[in-house]
Structure 1
Amino acid sequence: MQKPIATPSRTNEILQAHGFSFKKSLGQNFLIDHNILMRIVEATGMGENDGIIEIGPGIGALTEQFAQRVRRVEAFELDDRLLPILEETLAPYPNTTIHHQDILKVDLSSIIEERLTNVEKIAVVGNLPYYITTPIIMRLLEACLPVDRFVFMVQKEVGDRMKASPNTKDYGSLSIAVQYYAAATRVLTVPRTVFVPRPKVDSVVLSLNKRETPPVIVKDETFFFQVVRASFAQRRKTIRNNLQHNLLTDKEDQKRMEEAFQKCQIDPSRRGETLSMEEFAELSNALLE
């Protein structure tokens, strides 16, 4: 029986056989530690009757482990140079399909309807490139997909921001956006030494369990997130200044803003990182009255 792909020797053998060179622009870093890989598999909680959607399978290290354990795997790879490698490494697994598509452009609802109807639960997993981590996560969370859990490996600083609480340096609009849609749990920290090529920073694996209902009630989700983003536009500025310059720019808006601060008993000289999600919800609702 062959060694798992996620070992230094097997990864090196596959890359050399195909003359593969890493593209820095695609943020490619392949995991070469089988134990860490198995922790990621366990974090999904998926079994033999379930389905996996994988973002960026690389050379198939994580894909092969899921293919051995679940009913269906649908993986999305952008780099066409990896397709022949994946065809070879995943040849033993007829329950796995590789799609040569950009995950930001894929209609996942259709994929689920067409290819994952015979599974009980679905998880989305991926080692996400730094440069598109936030767009991918937000697109998936905002979509009404029948997905039970998201398990992502991201750069540590991004993971810290996603899990952050008010009054911390990492807390910001991403913290609120992620926590509005999901309960975030850190699974493990992944040192930079277990990747090829070795990245400059460590990573974390996060499990995001999608909420059935958001933790706050807002009148208008789009406006709520506009208020949140505007409040963090310049971290050193007060909420009043940020909202004045980035969202509520005319005199009527500013009058309404002062009334909303008063009604919510929020001091407008506070900074965005001191407001809880509940306070942001209350403020955005008051601004719509």
Structure 2
Amino acid sequence: MSDSSSTTDETGPLLGPAEVRELAAALGVRPTKQRGQNFVIDANTVRRIVRTAGVRPDDVVVEIGPGLGSLTLGLLECADRVTAVEIDEVLAAALPATIAARMPDRADRFALVHRDAMQVTELPGAAPTALVANLPYNVAVPVLLHMLATFPTIDRTLVMVQAEVADRLAARPGNKVYGVPSVKANWYAEVKRAGSIGRNVFWPAPNVDSGLVSLVRRAAPPQTTASRAEVFAVVDAAFAQRRKTLRAALSGWAGSAVAAEAALLAAGVSPQARGESLTVEEFARIAEHKGPGGAPGIRQAGETV
């Protein structure tokens, strides 16, 4: 690790290890496990993330959990505008001043939303075109899915998450870690692993490695007459008992094992298959063939999607 003087020269307006610790000390901030806070202290890693995300000069980027602003500054170097969503009151209050001090010519292109990302349903200014974030490990998947569902204008996403979560998000059918996050993420986007991040670029260093996941929005979700909620209900049921065959796992969802088998056969899926072998398109076909009287979520006669 470089000493503080060389770090400042190398980082420019970005934050290095010394700057991160100085900011945290001035604010009386200690990263908390409760909020999954691990601050990036390596400017080269920040620039790598921004480069891998393919941030463009016309992008309106939303960032979740900016913390002390390490990634925020890197995004502001390249994007047209950046909106950061921060739940921590102290960090949210301090971030605009950090941006103004270190990147004054871009400060007017920054906006802050002090709120829980899971509660965000609108953002100030132009609609976001990209999501780039170092997501807290404990809420990474629900936050990612919420943002993709709430903001359909987000075309490209790059998130840094726990390596295990990255593997799950990018897994393909048949992979042993393929599951609910894999299928639901694939509903929205083409998903792939985009790199690995070591532990020493964070403060404090986490106990696990991190991974980058790239998500490029599909032109359209799978063509289906079922709603997203109906498809996701099938996915949740299939993986709630992943060791069971779909005939058994979907019996509660369909109302009975016989009804589940009928829906599976109508969808062209073997009742003896397991959820880990199915694509999102196959889950959508199953959702289309649910009979009346099953689990909640089925459309009533005349209801539109």
TM more than 0.5: yes
Asked if the contact 1:216/1:277 (under 8 Å) is kept, the reply is no
**Number of the residue aligned with 1:99:** 113
Q: Give per-residue Cα distances to partners, 1:68-103, cap 9 Å, x unaligned.
A: 322221111111111343133111222212221111
145-154 vs 214-223, greater mean Cα deviation: 214-223
CA displacement at 1:288 relative to structure 2: 4.5
CA displacement at 1:39 relative to structure 2: 1.5
CA–CA separation in structure 2 for the residues paired with 1:266 and 1:71: 46
**Number of the residue aligned with 1:7:** 16
1:165-180 map, 5 Å = 165-180=172-187
RMSD over aligned Cα, in angstroms?
Answer: 2.2
CA–CA separation in structure 2 for the residues paired with 1:49 and 1:243: 46
CA–CA separation in structure 2 for the residues paired with 1:145 and 1:265: 30
CA 262–98 in structure 1, closer or farther in 2 if over 3 Å, else same: closer
SS in 1 for 2:208: coil
SS in 2 for 1:232: helix
1:1-289 map, 5 Å = 3=11, 4-91=13-100, 92=104, 93-108=107-122, 111=123, 114-116=124-126, 122-244=129-251, 246-249=252-255, 253-288=256-291
CA displacement at 1:203 relative to structure 2: 0.9
Q: Give per-residue Cα distances to partners, 1:239-289, cap 9 Å, x unaligned.
A: 122112x4123xxx4433222333345332322212233332332223248
- 1:278 partner amino acid: E
Identity of aligned residues (%): 37
Task: Mark the runs of 5 or more structure 1 residues left unpaired by the alignment.
Answer: none
Q: Give per-residue Cα distances to partners, 1:98-134, cap 9 Å, x unaligned.
A: 22111111222xx2xx5126xxx72111111122112
**Number of the residue aligned with 2:303:** none
CA–CA separation in structure 2 for the residues paired with 1:37 and 1:27: 18
CA–CA separation in structure 2 for the residues paired with 1:115 and 1:220: 29
Paired residue total: 278
CA–CA separation in structure 2 for the residues paired with 1:129 and 1:214: 27
CA–CA separation in structure 2 for the residues paired with 1:82 and 1:221: 35
Q: Give per-residue Cα distances to partners, 1:25-60, cap 9 Å, x unaligned.
A: 111001112122112111332333322111111111
**Under a length normalisation based on structure 1, what TM-score does the superposition of the two structures give?**
0.88
Asked if the contact 1:76/1:100 (under 8 Å) is kept, the reply is yes
CA displacement at 1:11 relative to structure 2: 1.4
